[in-house]
Amino acid sequence: MTQGQGFGFGLGKMKELTEAFKKAQQIQEGAKQLQEDLEQMEIVGESGGGLVKVILSGNQEPRSVTIAPEALIEGADVLSDLVTTAMKDAYEKSTATMRDRMEELTGGLSLPGL
């Protein structure tokens, strides 16, 4: 009769599995903190040399739009473009911030979708 091998896990594999679970728990706790941090952030997008400023949270939630009086002189079409450009700027900065913070959190782990 042959001796069973269990589930194919040696002590080394169990240790790796335990470490993976610990890392996953740390990431989960860090993700909660990151979510709170992102909610508190203010990311500014600008256009027209500061004529239009858009502020988003780190979660890309709109906070405010500031339009300088000089921008109103440019007319509706130009003002619309300035607001859109400022929104895109804030969005890109917010996305980069989230990506950088997630990379810090995961410590270089290769996780799908991040």
Q: How is residue 35 annotated by DSSP?
A: H
Confidence of residue 8 (pLDDT cuts 50, 70, 90): low
What's the number of domains the chain is made of? 1
Q: Which domain holds residue 59?
A: 11-106
CA dihedral 40, 46, 51, 54 (to 10 degrees): -40
**pLDDT tens-digit readout, 80-113:** 999 999 999 999 999 998 888 888 877 755 555 5
What is the average pLDDT across 2-26? Answer: 68
**pLDDT tens-digit readout, 52-81:** 999 999 889 999 999 999 999 999 999 999
1 is a domain residue? no
Task: Please state, in angstroms and as integers, the Cα–Cα distance from residue 57 to each residue in 32, 39, 110, following that order.
Answer: 16, 6, 26
CATH number reported for the structural domain that contains residue 32 in this entry: 3.30.1310.10
Whole-number Å distance between alpha carbons of 36 and 79: 33
pTM assigned to the model: 0.69
